[in-house]
Amino acid sequence: MARYALLYPFKAGTGDAADDIFKGGGDPPPQAGGTKLKSTTVFRKGDTVVRVFEIDGTLEEAVEHLVRASALMNVGERLGPMLDTDADLSTEEGLRQWFSDQMMTVLTHREIPQGM
């Protein structure tokens, strides 16, 4: 299982709108090709939103599956005008660019010891 983080850089004053979008279906599907989403958590402070997620499988396979998902394009169309990005989130290529640009480096990763 691998952990990743994705930054959603909302334009000033638009971060509150993130709550409704993420509550209303902004989660990725639990199965992305052969990759399985194990957990996802969204953190928001003001206009900065970070999604931390864990998957079984490869990030590349998950991204390729997600950019083809119509549900994600619909969320991308709603989020696009509020995000500080040049990527067109209503297209596969724009979503690929956005994932590439916004993927963060996870610096801490704590494993839970077996048997706890």
pLDDT tens-place string over residues 33-58 = 667 888 888 888 999 999 888 888 88
Q: Rounded to an integer, what distance in angstroms lies between the CA atom of residue 103 and that of residue 85?
A: 13
Residue 112 lies in a domain: no
Range of the domain at 50: 2-104
* Average pLDDT value for the chain: 81
Does any domain span residue 51? yes
The per-residue pLDDT for 11 is 93
Q: Report the CATH number at residue 50.
A: 3.30.70.1090
Regions of the chain where pLDDT drops below 50: none
Is 115 a member of any domain? no
Any domain includes 42: yes
For position 104, what pLDDT does the model report? Answer: 92
Domain count of the fold of the chain: 1
> Which residues are within 8 A (CB) of 19 and not within 5 positions of it... i.e. 6 or more apart?
44
